[in-house]
Amino acid sequence: MADDSVVAAVFDFEELPVPAGIIDLAGTIVAVNGAAAKLLARPADELVGRTAWTFAPGIEHVWTELVGFARARGEHSSELTIATPKGARTIRYVMALRERAGRTLVLALALDVTRDDAEAVTRPGSTKR
């Protein structure tokens, strides 16, 4: 489930073969595709409207910094640990800012779902971001 006008303004989102999300600058999830819902093992309508750190605990402490990196460099990529019902998973992601429908949005793509992770999910001071 997503704000259809925002998603349509960006691209044919659902067709992406990788997990993808659109997040506003405040960290609220605006849309996810089917691959992202599958990765997080939750229906898309349960994800939309919640903050990104609901599923990547600790990222709220560095969200502004990550958005700043993406703004300064055109994109930002790294690893982070996400929480799923089956446990923590580490993913490699890339994020970029896009101006669409009068809003600045973060497009986040999970490029590599690297492994299940027994380590605690991301927390302040962690190198996984």
Q: Name the percent of the chain lying above pLDDT 90.
A: 55
Residue 127 reports pLDDT greater than 60? no
Mean pLDDT for 105-124 is 65
Taken in order of first residue, the domains within the chain and their CATH numbers are: 4-54+66-78+93-110 (3.30.450.20)
Query: 110 near 78, Cβ under 8 Å?
Result: no
pLDDT reported for residue 129? 43
- What pLDDT is stored for residue 52 in this prediction? 95
Pick from 24-28, 83-87, 114-118, 120-124 the range whose average pLDDT is largest. Answer: 24-28
Q: pTM of the full predicted structure?
A: 0.78
Kindly report the number of other CB atoms within 10 A of residue 121's CB atom. 22
